[in-house]
Amino acid sequence: MRKIDLIVIHCSATREDRPFTEHDLDTAHRLRGFDGIGYHFYVRRNGDIKSTRTVERVGAHARGYNAHSIGICYEGGLDSHGLAKDTRTEWQRHSLRVLVRALKMDYPEARVVGHRDLSPDVNGNGEVEPMEWTKECPCFEVEREGW
């Protein structure tokens, strides 16, 4: 088993008013040249947690961090106009909490971060600030969640 020290939360960057199934996600990732879905877990709007890649297998979700991380993606992340927004349903919030807590039991040293938190600290102040984000994913403050 590989060493896991990071759990990275993502959004699918899809509109809240349109479904995006795990089949759609698989198709999108294959079109980008991936060998299947790059995330280890996908959380649908109804709260269903889909296991999309074994945790033993290196992910394809956060360049430079894949070898030692687990990727979790929730369906959504954009409002009906295509703008970044925390679109998580109550079911998704609950399922994400349950999933992260279960993973933390197996990997207690792992930090939980949002994809945007892995952006470079351009100004070198030790903190990745909104002006430094290379993307807004997962469209909420991961560190404020009660994992």
Look at residue 66 in the predicted model and tell me its pLDDT: 96
Q: In terms of C-beta density within 10 A (0-12 exposed, 13-18 middle, 19 or more buried), how is residue 147 classed?
A: middle
Tokens for 37?
């879905």
Band of residue 31 on the pLDDT scale cut at 50, 70, 90: very high
| Model pTM above 0.75 | yes
Band of residue 41 on the pLDDT scale cut at 50, 70, 90: very high
Look at residue 127 in the predicted model and tell me its pLDDT: 79
CATH code of the region 6-144: 3.40.80.10
* Phi, psi values for residue 96, rounded to 5°: -60, -45
Summarised one tens digit per residue, pLDDT across range 116-136 is: 999 877 788 887 777 777 889
The mean pLDDT of 13-19, rounded to a whole number, is: 96
Look at residue 129 in the predicted model and tell me its pLDDT: 78
Look at residue 140 in the predicted model and tell me its pLDDT: 96
Q: What percent of the chain has pLDDT over 70?
A: 100
Domain boundaries, the chain: 6-144
41 beta partners: 51, 72
The mean pLDDT of 74-85, rounded to a whole number, is: 97
Q: What percent of the chain has pLDDT over 90?
A: 86
Whether residue 24 is predicted with pLDDT greater than 80 in this model: the reply is yes
